[in-house]
Amino acid sequence: MCLATTLTTAMALGLYQWTAFKVGKAREQFGIKAPATSGNEQFERIYRVQMNTLEQIVFFLPALWMFEYLVSDIFAGLLGVVWCIGRYMYAKGYYIDAAKRHNGFMISFFAATILLIGSVIGALLRG
């Protein structure tokens, strides 16, 4: 059963939807009409959070599900929650100041990297 991984996936997708919603609100707040993605520094930070989260989720989700299948649902779910916390910290820091995004980025990066490395090890041990 992959309940923990499924719930974590829902959490990650919800987090991404939250970042997309923030971009929509920021477009209205700062008068940035689509398809423009520049013109106001605060808007650009909010937009970069969404785009970077999209870039990272492409790596995270396959690593999460491979880890669930090859290693453990519970540990995949826990590492996925760590990834989500890191991405949330990244977003909150970046919204304030681009220099404050580092800690959240590193937390989510390491969680995703552990998922990938664990998946490779799990595959090799099964092979």
pLDDT 10s per residue in the chain (127 long)? 799 999 999 999 999 999 999 999 999 999 999 999 999 999 999 999 999 999 999 999 999 999 999 999 999 999 999 999 999 999 999 999 999 999 999 999 999 999 999 999 999 999 8
CA pair distance 71, 119, nearest whole angstrom? 7
Assessment of whether the complete model's pTM goes beyond 0.85? yes
